[in-house]
Amino acid sequence: MSKRILIVDDAAFMRMMIKDILTKNGFEVVGEAGDGAQAVEKYAELKPDLVTMDITMPEMDGIAALKEIKQKDPSAIIIMCSAMGQQAMVIDAIQAGAKDFIVKPFQADRVIEAIQKALG
């Protein structure tokens, strides 16, 4: 059975890019969210195997959403995505329970490698 993934990014174009990479590599994209608050709702509703989570988003950012999801489901597997190589945010995300970090622009092999590693 293919792994079920939730994609979270405020940019529809970025969601489309990740979705394309994932579906070409045999993953099932079960949902998409445009901000952190939607991500928390969709996670509870869809129970995905893994979440790709943008950091910088309106309403609720990725780190706040990560913390909220991990609070409700400590076993959640979340990989953070960001255009900014901001060390502090990366450290915050990892400390809050993120499994890995992918930097935009996405390289397909890096995305797949991170997801396969996170899913163990």
Domain that holds residue 38: 4-47+59-119
Inside any domain, residue 53:
no
Inside any domain, residue 65:
yes
| Interval 73-107: pLDDT, tens | 999 999 999 876 667 888 899 999 999 999 888 89
Residues 65 and 72: beta-carbon distance below 8 Å:
no
Q: Specify the CATH number for the domain of residue 24.
A: 3.40.50.2300
- For the four alpha carbons of 104, 65, 101 and 93, in that order, the dihedral sign comes to positive
Number of domains in the chain: 1
| Interval 13-63: pLDDT, tens | 999 999 999 999 999 999 999 999 999 999 999 999 999 999 999 899 999
Global pTM value: 0.94
